[in-house]
Structure 1
Amino acid sequence: MFWMRHRSEVEEDLRQLRAQPLTFFPGYEFYGELASIRAPGAWVVARMAPILEVSRNPQIYSSASGVTVNDFPPTFNEYFNSIIAMDDPRHARLRRLVSAGFTPRMLARLENSVADQAKLIVDEVCERGECDFVTDVAARLPLRIVCDLMGIPASQHDFVFDQSNVILGAGDAEYVPEFGDLLTAVLSAGEALTQLMDDVAESKVGVDSGDLTSVLVNAEVDGERLTRAELASFFILLAMAGNETTRNAISWGLVYLTDHPDQRRIWAENFEGIAHSATEEIVRIASPVTYLRRTALRDTEIEGQRIEQGDMVVLHYLCANRDEAIFEEPLAFDVRRHPNPHVGFGGPGAHYCLGAHLARREIKVMFRELFSRIGDIHATAEPDLLASSFIHGIKHLPAEFTPTSPTRAQ
């Protein structure tokens, strides 16, 4: 599989993709026990300039037909018809309702929660001297933040983690061993997360518990509120986008800091002064979401290539974040890189990542805690990659460090 090859080989293929005219990748069809998945084929936009153009023109390039190259059966809409797969006015309505929940009180709660959880996560591993950095550290922070934000009990955190792995890692045998049961497994995970969110939402009716679910089920914005189905889809989006993408940015961050000890030293010597640019560079180089798809609403052109109404257009963020026309030495990891106009959180416009600010804070705070407490932490093997063309993910990453005492013992 292309994505399972060594990073240097993948980077060379991406370089060739950027150097070519707009490329059409042919489709395929997968037949499962429940239904079939059809991928009709798509134009791959690999350079930054046309990605920005497409992102800024939602009246031409729609998200409503789906954001992956696959056309899933209609049953998927019940669980996965989220805000990222909508056009205005539906998209604007949902974004407005969700954004209203992020009150000053909620934002303050999140700020404190990120710092507290990062400290606790390091406490949990610091005496061991080794860990699986993905499952023990990188995945723990965004998972706990998302669940805390939505009022999910701690007893259900691992359940949310496992179900989100199935949804985004459905093509990986570690998460869905029987490929023929892929559709069944993904639908089952979506149903399970929907039921969990519905149970939590029901318990929040008339209750001010300080979490986002409590706000969204009780408050109205201009006489409207989210339906239960919309709330469940939003939670599933958070469990995937808010959890998986941040965990992979943090995981790739350790990979590149291990590979580039000079950059690690530069950041460690002036952590706060470089934290912003280092975080942006981690997001650029990691590009946790490899691509998102749009569908042409009318005949148009991209870089002189005719695009017909109904054609799929793939915005390849990972590839564009290495665009030689935009970034000097794009394959270099430079924690002081400036400017850094990456699309690691998607392109500009209405679909720019709603959680970008939170993701940036999680990355920064997690590495601050690591640098200050177990500063010599480093990867000891190549990352075990997720088998996915959609998520640029790491499943496992062994790491070692000098053991220290937890803060609770100090």
Structure 2
Amino acid sequence: MTTGTIRPEDVDLSDLEFWARPLSERNAAFTALRSLDRPPFFAEPDMSFIGAESGPGYYALVRHADIIEASRTPQVFCSSRGNIAGTFDPPPEFLEYFGSMINMDDPRHARLRRIVSRAFTHRMIAKIEDDIVRAAVRIIEDVRPAGGGDFVTEVAARLPLKIICDLMGIPEERYQRVFDLSNTVIGAFDPEYVPDFAEVAAAILAAAEELRGMVRDLAAERIERPADDLTSALVHGNVDGESLTDQELGSFFILLVVAGNETTRNAIAHGLKLLTLNPEQRDRWKSDFDRYAPTAVEEIVRLASPVTFMRRTVTRDYELNGQRFKDGDKVLMYYCSANRDEAVFPDPDAFDITRDPNPHLGFGAAGPHFCLGAHLARQEITVMFRELFRQLPDIRSTAPPERLYSSFINGIKHLPYEF
């Protein structure tokens, strides 16, 4: 399979090797799939090595309009039946750690979202803006003497990691451990994080248990001695007389450190790569940072598409884009494809920091599961690039990124850079 010669029948989204191919080939494959008259169907990959049974297959939603419709119809395309991060339905022990609100439907989803959403409003994010700026400044001061290195581990990962840990009240000496554990959870299929494929399930569960234990111990402290952090708000807050259970708190923390850490750091890393490859766009943004920042950040998120897909399960007969779905059908919504849909985005492969409108789905589509941390992610990306332009104006990547081996996260593990 090579760029320019890809036919829809050449594409197999269930082949893990597909996700190791160059990004240009993957984008060309999705362009071919969008040309079909209805959503394509794929057999499921064999996941028996983690104790999961493969089902009959799944449909891939690759058009922007299809994902919008599915996201706005949660009563048909539900989140609570199965694993939102894959086609396979994991063994029951996984749900103990990953049964967070992202895997729920209303009304339970709405109840939990009301409890935790207070920490992610515009007002609350504005309140911690100074903390975000101070963190970004310190990160840059730390790397300045070296003149370069690995942008992901030294810069991009550190800001969202610190902010999430600070929000929860996790002490600084635990930052690196949280970082390592989140890498294991989200990158378990990458041999850098779990060298033995046969140990994937055990590694994920062990990492999840350690993360849950971390927040469980912290919650016990905050019950006795509340502090000005999200953990205190969660253990003492309630909606309609209900508060989070221990399991809900643990699952939410795992979701938060993975979603709030992995996705934003990948957007920042993709941003430096895009700005290096498009110096005219970089110069334009530097010429008037505040003017272009809002649209530049949205364009980075569109092309980065940090979360590649989310799964839904159909609850009843429903027709979408020429396909008649039935109860139990599995559907994967490929945001990476929707964000390059030529029916919505003129010249979709171009990086244009002035693109407006930009109805990308990098934070999901409008609906009950739109990303709770979108405000925070935008703020962190904006602050980081403002400080990079101000303090390291000639910063650039110096080699192609080393990508995460994953079908779920469009991750960059390492990115050499210099200034």
Same fold at TM > 0.5? yes
Gap change, CA 1:331 and 1:194, over 3 Å in 2: same
Uncovered stretches (5+) of structure 2, i.e. residues with no partner: 1-16
Deviation at 1:31, TM superposition (A): 2.6
Aligned counterpart, 1:51? 67
Further displaced range: 150-159 or 198-207:
198-207
Residues 74-116 of structure 1: CA deviation (Å, up to 9, x unaligned):
1001110011110011100100111235588854542222111
Gap change, CA 1:388 and 1:88, over 3 Å in 2: same
The normalised TM-score by structure 1 is 0.95
CA distance in 1, matches of 2:190, 2:332: 22
Gap change, CA 1:112 and 1:206, over 3 Å in 2: farther
| 3-state SS in 1 of match to 2:212 | helix
Gap change, CA 1:221 and 1:30, over 3 Å in 2: closer
RMSD of equivalent CA atoms: 1.4
Gap change, CA 1:254 and 1:105, over 3 Å in 2: closer
Aligned counterpart, 2:12? none
* Residues 1:276 and 2:294 aligned together: yes
Aligned counterpart, 1:256? 274
| 3-state SS in 2 of match to 1:182 | helix
Residues 22-48 of structure 1: CA deviation (Å, up to 9, x unaligned):
10011132233x623535421000001
Deviation at 1:70, TM superposition (A): 2.1
Aligned counterpart, 1:365? 383
- Which of 48, 53, 69 does residue 31 from structure 1 map onto? 48
| 3-state SS in 2 of match to 1:27 | coil
Aligned counterpart, 1:408? none
Aligned counterpart, 1:140? 158
Aligned counterpart, 2:21? 5
- Which of 242, 262, 268 does residue 244 from structure 1 map onto? 262
* Residues 1:18 and 2:34 aligned together: yes
Gap change, CA 1:320 and 1:223, over 3 Å in 2: same
Percentage of matched positions with identical amino acids:
53
Residues 261-311 of structure 1: CA deviation (Å, up to 9, x unaligned):
010001010110000000000000000000000000011112011112100
Deviation at 1:119, TM superposition (A): 0.7
- Which of 205, 229, 237 does residue 219 from structure 1 map onto? 237
Aligned counterpart, 2:319? 301
Further displaced range: 194-203 or 212-221:
212-221
- Which of 204, 207, 232 does residue 222 from structure 2 map onto? 204
The normalised TM-score by structure 2 is 0.93
| 3-state SS in 2 of match to 1:28 | coil
**Residue type of the partner of 1:351?**
H
Gap change, CA 1:102 and 1:342, over 3 Å in 2: closer
After the TM superposition, which segments of 4 or more aligned residues of structure 1 sit over 4 Å from their partners? 101-106
CA distance in 2, matches of 1:262, 1:324: 23
Asked if the contact 1:61/1:297 (under 8 Å) is kept, the reply is yes
Asked if the contact 2:120/2:376 (under 8 Å) is kept, the reply is no
| 3-state SS in 1 of match to 2:45 | strand
CA distance in 2, matches of 1:392, 1:182: 19
* Residues 1:63 and 2:65 aligned together: no
Deviation at 1:3, TM superposition (A): 2.0
Further displaced range: 95-104 or 166-175:
95-104
CA distance in 2, matches of 1:15, 1:103: 36
CA distance in 2, matches of 1:332, 1:343: 17
Residues 358-378 of structure 1: CA deviation (Å, up to 9, x unaligned):
000000000001000001111
CA distance in 1, matches of 2:306, 2:119: 26
CA distance in 2, matches of 1:272, 1:11: 31
Gap change, CA 1:336 and 1:101, over 3 Å in 2: closer
Asked if the contact 2:164/2:261 (under 8 Å) is kept, the reply is yes
Gap change, CA 1:96 and 1:11, over 3 Å in 2: same
- Which of 135, 152, 159 does residue 117 from structure 1 map onto? 135
Residues 298-348 of structure 1: CA deviation (Å, up to 9, x unaligned):
111120111121000111000000000000100000001000000000011
| 3-state SS in 1 of match to 2:102 | helix
CA distance in 2, matches of 1:102, 1:323: 30
Deviation at 1:178, TM superposition (A): 0.3
Asked if the contact 2:120/2:375 (under 8 Å) is kept, the reply is no
Deviation at 1:227, TM superposition (A): 1.1
Asked if the contact 1:146/1:239 (under 8 Å) is kept, the reply is yes
Further displaced range: 105-114 or 23-32:
105-114
Asked if the contact 2:267/2:306 (under 8 Å) is kept, the reply is yes
Gap change, CA 1:106 and 1:200, over 3 Å in 2: farther
Task: Map 1:141-156 to 2 at 5 A.
Answer: 141-156=159-174
CA distance in 1, matches of 2:69, 2:173: 45
Uncovered stretches (5+) of structure 1, i.e. residues with no partner: 402-410
CA distance in 2, matches of 1:222, 1:102: 20
- Which of 309, 327, 330 does residue 291 from structure 1 map onto? 309
